[in-house]
Amino acid sequence: MEAQARARFQRYGARKVAQLLKEIRGKSVLEAEEILPTVPRACRVMVEKAVKSAAANLAVKLGRAGKTVVPERVFIKSCWAGAGPMGHMKRVLPAPQGRAMTFKRKVSHLTVIVSDGAEENN
């Protein structure tokens, strides 16, 4: 069974988040929770929350199906980060010829999918 968690409109660049996701993709959730605190990136807190949320979502889904969660068998099936809208903030920078340019900040959407390894027969 699979479960997912999303973190949308996060103030981190998608490329930097993707570099971090490459380190944990395919590993178990327990391994990812050991690796993430050692990574020197600001976005690791967001990724940790998303991984824990996806694992909790899987536990709820399995609980409703009458099954129990084996933490060692829960692994990160896939995870990716995409670029969100580069919105304009309500702040300005000086620009040539007396104009004012608005700030542009990168925003990313993160998706984490975890699985317990059991195949579904539908």
Asked if pLDDT for residue 122 goes beyond 50, the answer is no
**Using one digit for the tens of pLDDT, what is the confidence trace for 7-33?**
999 999 999 999 999 999 999 999 999
pLDDT grade for 120, boundaries at 50, 70 and 90: low
* Contact residues for 114 (Cβ-Cβ < 8 A; gap 6+): 2, 3, 4, 29, 51, 54, 55, 57, 58, 74, 75, 76, 77
Asked if pLDDT for residue 84 goes beyond 80, the answer is yes
pTM of the entire structure?
A: 0.86
Q: How far apart are CA 100 and CA 94, in angstroms?
A: 5
Q: How far apart are CA 1 and CA 83, in angstroms?
A: 28
Written out in words, the top-level CATH class of the domain with range 2-115 is alpha beta
Q: Where are the domains of the chain?
A: 2-115
Q: What is the pLDDT averaged over residues 45-72?
A: 94
